[in-house]
Amino acid sequence: MKRTTNRRSQQGIAARIPRQACARIEEAAAWRGVSVSSFVAEAAAKEAEQVIEKERLLQLSRQDAELVASLLDNPPNPNAAMRKAVQAHQRSIRG
C-alpha cells in the first residue's frame, strides 16, 4: 500500500542516539520494511500514547480517590432507593 503524506503536517525531530541503539533501530526497521525515520516516528508515537494514557488514568484515579474520601467523610443523606436496599438487606440477614 502506498502512503501519501502531506509535508506540511510533518515536523522534524532531531535526536542523538547511541551507536548500538541506532544499529538495533536500523535492523528493526529493515525487518519491518520501513525507513528508520518511519520506524522511529511510529515507535515514539506509540510510546507517547501509552505515557499519556497512563498519566490520564492516574489523574482520574487521584480525582476519584478524592471524591470517594469526600463522600466517606461527608456521606449524602440516604434516598428512597438506599432506604429500600437497607430494608431488603436487613430482611435477608434475618432469614
Q: Give the per-residue pLDDT at 61.
A: 87
- The DSSP secondary-structure symbol of 77 reads P
pLDDT band at 77 (very low <50, low <70, confident <90, very high): very high
In a domain, 4, yes or no: no
pLDDT at 89: 96
Domain that holds residue 39: 12-94
Report the pLDDT value the prediction gives residue 5, as an integer from 0 to 100.
Answer: 56
DSSP conformational letter for 79:
-
Position 74 scores a pLDDT of 96
Residue 3 lies in a domain: no
Which domain CATH number covers 24?
A: 1.20.5.780
Q: Does residue 1 lie within any of the structural domains?
A: no
- Looking at the predicted structure, is the pLDDT value of residue 8 above 80? no
**What is the tens place of the pLDDT at every residue in 49-60?**
999 999 888 777
C-alpha Rg value of the chain to the nearest Å: 27
Domain count, the chain: 1
